[in-house]
C-alpha cells in the first residue's frame, strides 16, 4: 500500500464519518416538521428491521405536521410503536390509513438541551476523525519503518493526513454552527 492509497482510503472513511454526523443532525427536531426526523427509524416489518422511508411516504404538510402514509396499512401499528420508542417525544395518531405526527413548538429549555446534544454528536464525530487519522498515520509510519517509503515521504503523508482531518473537522464545525442556529431560532 502506498501513501497515496492510504490518503485516499482515509478520506473515504472521513467522508463517511461526516455523512454520519450530518445524518444524525438531520434527525434532531428543530420544532419544524421535516421527513428527516423519522425516515431513518427502523421499523420491525415482518421480523426484518426496515427503514421507515422504505415502508411509507413521509411528507411535511405544514411546519408543524408530518404525515406518514404506509404502502402496507398493516404496518401502521409497528410504525407507531417505533415512533413511540424513539426519543423524538412525539405522539403519533392514526386513522387506519395514515399516521399524523404533530411537531410541538420547542421550549427554550428543550432548545438548549438539543444544542448540548448536537455539540456531543459533533465532538464524537471529531474524535472519530482523529482516530481515523491515528490509524492511517500508523500505516504511513510502518511503511517508512519497512523501508517502503523515505522519511520525507512519511512526513509529507502525515502532513496530508493532518490537512484532511482539519478540513473535515471544519466541515463538522460549520454543520454544527448551522444546526445550532436552526435550533435556537424561534
pLDDT of residue 8: 95
Tens digits of per-residue pLDDT, 113-145?
888 989 999 999 999 999 999 999 999 999 999
Please count the other Cβ atoms lying within 10 Å of the Cβ belonging to residue 132.
Answer: 22
Query: Fold for domain 3-26+107-184?
Result: Topoisomerase I; Chain A, domain 4 (1.10.132)
> How far apart are the C-alpha atoms of 14 and 19, rounded to whole Å?
9
Give the per-residue pLDDT at 162.
96
For the chain, what is the mean pLDDT? 90
Check residue 30 and give its pLDDT. Answer: 72
Question: Which band of pLDDT confidence, cut at 50, 70 and 90, is reported for residue 67?
Answer: very high
Q: What pLDDT was estimated at residue 182?
A: 86
Domain residue spans of the chain: 3-26+107-184, 36-102
What average pLDDT does the segment 149-170 reach? Answer: 95
What kind of fold does domain 36-102 have according to CATH?
Gyrase A; domain 2 (3.30.1360)
User: Binning pLDDT at 50, 70 and 90, where does residue 186 land?
Assistant: low
Average pLDDT over residues 79-85: 89
Long-range contacts from 68-73, C-beta under 8 angstroms, 24+ separation: 68/38, 68/92, 68/98, 68/99, 68/100, 68/101, 69/97, 69/98, 69/99, 70/98, 70/99, 73/97
Mean pLDDT over 80-98 rounds to 86
pLDDT tens by residue, 14-49: 999 999 999 888 877 677 778 888 888 899 999 899
Share of the chain above pLDDT 90, in %: 59
Q: What is the pTM of this model?
A: 0.72
Q: What pLDDT is attached to residue 137?
A: 95
Amino acid at each position: 500500500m502506498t501513501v497515496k492509497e492510504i490518503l485516499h482510503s482515509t478520506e473515504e472513511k472521513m467522508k463517511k464519518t461526516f455523512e454520519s454526523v450530518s445524518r444524525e443532525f438531520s434527525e434532531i427536531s428543530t420544532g419544524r416538521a421535516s421527513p428527516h426526523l423519522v425516515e431513518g427509524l427502523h421499523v420491525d416489518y415482518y421480523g426484518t428491521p426496515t427503514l421507515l422511508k422504505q415502508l411509507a411516504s413521509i411528507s411535511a404538510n405544514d411546519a408543524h405536521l408530518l404525515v406518514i402514509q404506509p404502502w402496507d396499512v398493516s404496518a401502521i401499528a409497528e410504525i407507531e410503536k417505533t415512533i413511540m420508542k424513539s426519543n423524538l417525544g412525539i405522539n403519533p395518531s392514526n386513522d387506519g390509513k395514515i399516521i399524523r405526527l404533530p411537531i410541538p413548538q420547542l421550549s427554550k429549555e428543550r432548545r438548549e438541551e438539543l444544542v448540548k446534544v448536537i455539540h456531543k454528536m459533533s465532538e464524537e464525530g471529531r474524535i472519530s476523525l482523529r482516530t481515523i487519522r491515528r490509524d492511517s498515520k500508523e500505516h504511513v509510519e510502518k511503511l517508512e519503518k519497512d523501508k517502503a517509503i523515505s522519511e520525507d515521504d512519511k512526513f509529507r503523508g502525515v502532513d496530508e493526513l493532518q490537512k484532511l482531518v482539519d478540513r473535515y473537522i471544519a466541515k463538522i464545525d460549520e454543520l454544527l454552527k448551522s444546526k445550532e442556529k436552526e435550533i435556537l431560532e424561534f
